[in-house]
Homo-oligomer: A and B are copies of this chain.
């Protein structure tokens, strides 16, 4: 068995275009850590493909597992040496945790936002929820502010289990904040907090499979959305955001992960974003850390995990990039109804 054959086997068993490079990334990650969640985090290979690849590596005698650890065997060590694979190296800045920026004026609202988030509705699997840390949300807001997309602007948040609408409203600088969510609990939470805190946030219950209400079309300067990771779901949600933008100069923000989206999917998404009239101005990988959700043992990938250890709540392994686009042409997306399951595709791991 060699890496090329192993990659071929994984391609046959999954629908994922697994490369030798993906195999290298997994081996480099195992060289750096024996913890399965760190390996998933460091390797940047979609989780379902990674599980299949590790199974094949075990069959090849390259890796072995204990109840809580994964490590290279002697033949595995020999292989990585022959191939010149070095341990995965993470050089995240110790101050900004890799995000590249300071909170600046957003630091002033940090305590209040964290206090509010303490009583937030818990993430549920029905809507593929899973929220980012409060710190990630605050840095998001700082990023939008620094890009000029917040002060004096009208903002639409599509799907808001991260409570971005509240964090933005707390800064007091946007001209208007509207949020949509399918989950009545979140809509009600945002309404209650807004009333109690004296914040202006319009919170609407809305299923993004349905067309956007007419009055939200071409009405915003900025949108934010952290879509579900299936290709169809991602494009649908991002498309709703784009159709809500005024035109050239308007900006959109999205979260996109490597954990459930292959680079082939990234490419398909990017192609679509560009076709819709936008340029991509920023991709900051690992900008968002997710809080581990309570349904981890019933998520799709659980049964495939080689080492079944439940990660601690504050042991982030699921991260996503922050992507910013800016329209350079009038938006080109259709505001039509979407039928069927938009949450799952072969790479989905957490639904």
Contacts and interface: CB of A to CB of B under 8 A. Distances in A.
A249 B148 contact: no
Interface residues of A, number: 59
Nearest to A102: B91
A260 interface: no
Contacts of A270: 270, 274, 279-280
Given A249-B20, A270-B279, A280-B270, A100 B102 contact: no
Interface string A83-119: 1111011111111101111111100000000000000
A52 interface: no
B104 A101 contact: no
Contacts of A294: none
Residue picked from A85, A90, A93, A175, most chain B C-beta under 10 Å: A93
Contacts of A305: none
Contact of A86 (B102, B143, B152): B152
Contacts of A328: 17, 262-264, 267
A249 to B, nearest CB: 3
A22 interface: yes
Given A93-B96, A100-B92, A22 B274 contact: no
25 contacts: A21-B248, A21-B249, A22-B249, A24-B148, A25-B148, A84-B151, A84-B152, A86-B151, A86-B152, A88-B148, A91-B142, A91-B146, A94-B95, A95-B95, A99-B100, A262-B328, A263-B326, A263-B328, A264-B328, A266-B279, A266-B280, A266-B281, A270-B270, A270-B274, A282-B284
Given A21-B326, A282-B283, 5 more contacts: A84-B175, A89-B148, A91-B146, A93-B95, A284-B284
